[in-house]
Amino acid sequence: MFASTRVLGPRALPAAPGSFSAAGGSVAAGRHIAASYGGCLGCHGANLAGGRRFMNSGAMGTLAAPNLTRGAGGVGSAYTDADFERALRAGMLPDGTGLLVMPSVAFTHMSDADVRDVIAYVRSVPAVDDATPPRTLGPVARALIAFHKLPVESDLIDLQAAHNAVTPIGVTVDHGRYLARVGGCMDCHGANLAGGHYKGSPSDPAGTNITPAAIGMWSQGDFARTLRTGRDPSGHVLDRFMPWTSLGQLDDDELAALWTYLRSVPAVKVPP
């Protein structure tokens, strides 16, 4: 019951619900964000009709990425701009129900400009008729939630935090830090980027050390090739849990900014 109340039951919405507007958003910019550091296509599909299953058993329950389009079974016609913004940055459905897999802890750092662009893109895609199975929680999922092993995104977010109006630009540390935060680098590699097991099931790989202590000998070209090919300079093939197929869609300046930021963080040596 505790887990059901925390996840399936509504909660207080952030201040001023319904006030966010995506007017003026760029479809082209939103498409790029969704394909790259937003990672939207990896879960919701190239046509945004959803379908990726995160849970699909009696013990865990049922959880699938929803159809975001205006088609039958999709949320596109029912959601306001504020509903989409709340799901992205607050980890909540329109009624205040908390989301589980939506990476809102990372997206809470997304600028107003980027959110507008993403919503503009979502609203531009063709309608697809495809119903998402309703979310259910099995006994194992309820226990994991109760013991904070399966996080409810909105529980981890300061819902009153201010958001930046615009996105940093250029090959700068600030732009790179922004891409790392929104792109979820800290979610998997840790706040200090030294690696560890912060996300996923026990069977999923731990995040590696990506501070200068570990990748300091890499060149910027090595870094870009790793993200674009899924193979690091040693020839190691990256696990698909690492979203390199999305991050590899960053443009040259964005990759350079991300590299500039990673080179700026303190080196942390981790025992082998």
Note the pLDDT tens digit of each residue in 163-186: 999 999 999 999 999 999 999 999
Q: Is pLDDT at 9 greater than 70 in this prediction?
A: no
* pTM for this prediction: 0.92
CA angle, 51 then 56 then 60, to 5°: 135
Q: Is pLDDT at 14 greater than 70 in this prediction?
A: no
pLDDT value, residue 2: 44
Q: Is pLDDT at 84 greater than 80 in this prediction?
A: yes
How far apart, in whole angstroms, are the C-alpha atoms of residue 208 and residue 83?
Answer: 35
Q: Is pLDDT at 1 greater than 60 in this prediction?
A: no
Q: Find out if CATH 1.10.760 is the number for domain 173-264.
A: yes
Structure confidence by residue, pLDDT tens digits, 52-71: 888 888 898 999 999 999 99
Residue 156 DSSP symbol: G
pLDDT value, residue 7: 54
Alpha-carbon distances, residue 170 vs 5, 50, 253 (angstroms):
44, 33, 7
Collapsing DSSP to helix, strand or coil, 192 comes out as coil
How far apart, in whole angstroms, are the C-alpha atoms of residue 198 and residue 90?
Answer: 20
> What mean pLDDT value characterizes the chain?
90
> Where along the chain do its domains lie?
2-156, 173-264
Structure confidence by residue, pLDDT tens digits, 102-145: 999 999 999 999 999 999 999 999 999 999 888 888 998 888 88
pLDDT value, residue 58: 85
Q: Are 67 and 52 in contact (CB under 8 A)?
A: no
- Decide if 2-156 and 173-264 have a common fold: yes
Q: Is pLDDT at 218 greater than 90 in this prediction?
A: yes
Q: Is pLDDT at 8 greater than 60 in this prediction?
A: no
Q: Which of 89, 77, 79, 78 minimizes the C-alpha distance to 114?
A: 89
Place of tokens 């995506």: 22
CATH topology of domain 2-156: Cytochrome Bc1 Complex; Chain D, domain 2 (1.10.760)
Q: Is pLDDT at 253 greater than 90 in this prediction?
A: yes
DSSP notation for 239-270: PTTS-HHHHTTS-HHHHHHHHHHHHHSPP---
Report the pLDDT averaged over residues 40-45: 94
pLDDT value, residue 123: 97
Collapsing DSSP to helix, strand or coil, 57 comes out as strand
Q: Are 171 and 115 in contact (CB under 8 A)?
A: no
How many CA atoms does the CB half-sphere of 222 hold within 13 Å?
11
